Structure 1
């Protein structure tokens, strides 16, 4: 429930943190921070100094800002205590062994999926991704798996925001809605090079005790060695794992109605 009171200072501080987070290893200079967040350099400096003192940001020898150890500590505590991640971890590891490919675990945040865990493939050619990265819901396997099982008002709210195609294969509009119907029927989604050219994934939703999708996991690989047929062959095992993870966090799948005996 929203209180109607909001701190613009807190909003701006998080905007700065988000900007630094997205800058990668290079970090951001004070001038870049100010330009990115639309404030004066003096204002950006004031916020940055406070965040430095709190350990939320760090500054290197070149003057660039990066995320600080405080955020890493807090994120580590969150991940250690996160029931979904703990419930899913053994299945993620098993799925890597079965598939030979990289497996991700994600949770929906707004119009995105945020990676909260990852188990790498042992193969020499692997995907570049990191825990904490955000990817769009509408064109990823995990995202479509979540979207397909949301209640209609929430799904409509998310899709009301303009969805930009990420590749020539990205689905939008009626094509995306039809795809979500298919995902709901079969229980899994396929990202057929829709988020990144040359990458194919299968994703499955994880349900909580209320029957809502609170996360998803995916198997991702270079499209040249992971075909759509491979996704379908892996689906039965992955569906069983999704059901098991859901049960571990309290989900009880609805029972199919019993057939009536003929009179």
Structure 2
């Protein structure tokens, strides 16, 4: 019996585990194609097994073969959209021009992100001219308490903040906030100032500043951020530009909601 992802297999758990291992490896190497030998080595399986499982994944459209290598397939990207926060595509489409405005005023790497559970999901990213150690990627997630965009979104979402504060806060660097009381105090300060900072809290060498895009009710729809190498960019100086762009984006969001209800 031929094993496919569309039909029964002799060992479901083994087949699924192997397929996921290969997909994870491909996701980690998403900027190009990877050969079977390298995939097998990284997924810790034989080359023949990797080739067979990749064939199943290819037939189901979740990986694509390019020459002698493989990459994630279009079907997987479509499925991935289902994990975005509800309405994320509409948020991205409306706010992309404002992300471009923030890039134009700073010439640094900028992000558009939304909150999904206790993580942030990056909907868009524009790269600055200077190399920056930024781990974010479009569609990727990071723990909200470790990032400027995440903290500014939590500051304006009490339910999400409560969930984050009730769980253990994972440490990524010496600067990560892992004390719930300290994080709660910082979220209060963010609500007062309208801006959040990340000083090497997720990754050493990275500094960010973020501001929220707010609805008329004061809830954060999304956040925009500027990121750069710690010690090179002045995130405090950039905070004014982030606030101004996000204020314009907030007005555009409010206008869109008003048109929707008027229709």
- TM-score > 0.5, shorter chain as reference: yes
Measured against aligned partners, the alpha-carbon deviations of 1:10-31 in whole angstroms (never above 9, x if no partner) come to xx58955762454215757357
- What does 1:64-83 align with in structure 2 at a 5 Å threshold? 66-72=71-77, 82-83=89-90
Q: Is the 8 A contact 1:20 1:65 kept in 2?
A: no
Does 2:232 match 1:225? Answer: yes
Counterpart in the other structure of 2:99: 92
Shift of 1:117: 0.7
Q: 1:83 and 1:68, CA in 2 relative to 1: closer, same or farther beyond 3 A?
A: same
Q: Is the 8 A contact 1:83 1:249 kept in 2?
A: no
Instruction: Return the alpha-carbon distance in structure 2 between the equivalents of residues 155 and 251 of structure 1.
Output: 28
SS state of the match for residue 58, structure 1?
strand
Counterpart in the other structure of 2:146: 139
Counterpart in the other structure of 2:125: 118
Shift of 1:141: 0.5
Measured against aligned partners, the alpha-carbon deviations of 1:192-233 in whole angstroms (never above 9, x if no partner) come to 221222221111223457654342211111122222431344
| Superposed CA RMSD | 3.7
SS state of the match for residue 248, structure 2?
helix
Does 2:186 match 1:183? Answer: no
Instruction: Return the alpha-carbon distance in structure 2 between the equivalents of residues 115 and 17 of structure 1.
Output: 23
Q: Which runs of 5+ in 2 are unaligned?
A: 1-11
Alignment length (residue pairs): 233
The TM-score, its normalising length taken from structure 2, stands at 0.71
Instruction: Return the alpha-carbon distance in structure 1 between the equivalents of residues 71 and 177 of structure 2.
Output: 35
The TM-score, its normalising length taken from structure 1, stands at 0.71
| Residue number among 241, 245, 260 corresponding to 1:234 in the alignment | 241
Q: Which runs of 5+ in 1 are unaligned?
A: 1-7, 36-40, 253-263
Q: 1:142 and 1:236, CA in 2 relative to 1: closer, same or farther beyond 3 A?
A: closer
SS state of the match for residue 156, structure 1?
helix
